[in-house]
Structure 1
């Protein structure tokens, strides 16, 4: 909103009857000059006030422009913050889902580790029983060999020896198989434990 004030003073206007009320007494020239100076001073003061008002209006307009620019900048910053907040919320949801998935995987691996530990213990127990059976049979064979002269005849001795050797061979094969199964289970358990440790390390890093 622009304000334009135009004011001019003319001595001829002062002399026109329509501009001033008619004085009942005639003014002296000195009094006329005094009043003229007062009017000129009033006119000057009014012009100064107008200039000051225009200057103040311009300053207020500049401040308003600055405030509008700052408001636009703050609005843009707010939009950026809101967009960043939405992005962070999406990332947070993704991290929650990934954490839940890793927890489920860790739980499954823990269950597998428990299962393999149980199988290893069971295999060790079976191996221990087989070894005890083998030792008992070997002890029996050794006792039988001590009394070969009373227990076996020379004709049946080769067959008995062959049978004992075959039984011993079968027991050794069974023991070897159990060793291989136990080693395989131990390798699988080590693999899952190593994989779980790497996953836990990655979780701590992220």
Structure 2
């Protein structure tokens, strides 16, 4: 630093008078003033360097503080992410368990629905057979009444007709009862379909 200002320690030694040497040449005033100016310039340069160092130090300190603050914030964010990740893993496990339960329930519902379908088909078949039997009986009854018309007297004919009508009403009542049972089974089947739809939709949403 002293070389940049043109000042050397040897100059100061040479400019100082020697102790006990009265014959040494005393430095001139101009030389002393020049040395003083160089010293002042060196001092100002040192002061500028000190200011610059302080400025850089302050900047570095601010940057360090900012980095520490950012690191603290990142640590907080990391903890939040880890907590969120744990919650999502727990929710995922619960969702998988719910899906498994829904699939099992869906399987049981499908089996029960298939059972109801078989029962309904069997009931329809029985109902068809009963209807055909009823129609045959009714046809036979009509034929019998046609044949009996020539046998029985007109006085007994109303009683025979009433008896035939009673038989017809009984057969119609039996048929109506079977139709009512069939209607109830159809309603139960529709209820099972409605219960199955939300489960299937939830399973499809979970797979997506």
CA shift for structure 1 position 122: 0.9
132 and 47 in structure 1: CA distance in 2 versus 1, 3 angstrom threshold: same
Query: How far apart, CA to CA, are the structure 2 residues paired with 1:69 and 1:163?
Result: 103
The reply to whether residue 121 of structure 1 matches residue 117 of structure 2 is: no
1:59–1:28: structure 2 CA closer, same or farther, 3 Å change rule? same
Taking structure 2 as the reference length, the TM-score comes to 0.69
User: What is the CA–CA distance in structure 1 between the aligned matches of 2:152 and 2:84, rounded to whole Å?
Assistant: 97
Residues in 2 aligned to 1:149 and 1:174: alpha-carbon distance in whole angstroms: 28
Compared CA separation, residues 149 and 55, structure 1 to 2 (3 A): closer
Q: Partner residue of 1:55?
A: 55
CA deviation vs aligned residue, 1:1-60 (integer Å, no higher than 9, x gap):
xxxxxxxxxxxxx9xxxx947778635223233223222322222222222212221221
Give 1:189 shift.
1.0
* Cα 1:193/1:134, change in 2 over 3 Å: same
Partner of 2:27: 28
Residues 106 and 196 of structure 2 are in contact (CA less than 8 Å); yes or no, is this contact kept in structure 1? yes
Q: Provide the rounded CA distance (Å) in 2 between the counterparts of 1:56 and 1:105.
A: 71
Q: Counterpart in 1 of 2:132?
A: 132
SS for the counterpart of 2:186 is helix
Structure 2 residue ranges without an equivalent (≥5): 1-8, 19-23
* RMSD across aligned positions (CA): 3.6
SS in 1 for 2:125: helix
State how far apart, in whole Å, the 1-side matches of 2:149 and 2:61 are. 130
Residue 6 of structure 1: aligned partner: none
Which whole-Å deviations, capped at 9, do the CAs of 1:115-146 have from their partners, x for residues lacking one? Answer: 22221111110011111112222233333333
1:72 aligns with 2:72: yes
- Structure 2 distance, partners of 1:188, 1:84, is 44
* Equivalence for 1:10: none
Q: What residue in structure 2 maps to residue 174 of structure 1?
A: 174
Question: Is 2:103–2:203's contact at 8 Å kept on the other side of the alignment?
Answer: no
Question: 1:108 is matched with which residue?
Answer: 108
Q: CA–CA distance in 2 between the matches of 1:33 and 1:174?
A: 140
Alpha-carbon offset, residue 197 of structure 1:
3.5
Question: Structure 1 stretches of 5 or more lacking a match?
Answer: 1-13
More deviation in 192-201 or 52-61? 192-201
What is the rounded CA distance, in whole Å, between the counterparts of 1:178 and 1:110 in structure 2? 25
Report deviation, 1:62: 1.4
* Structure-1 separation of matches of 2:70 and 2:204: 43
C-alpha distance in structure 2 between counterparts of 1:27 and 1:130, whole Å: 150
* Alignment partner, residue 45 of structure 2: 45
Partner in structure 1 of residue 95 of structure 2: 95
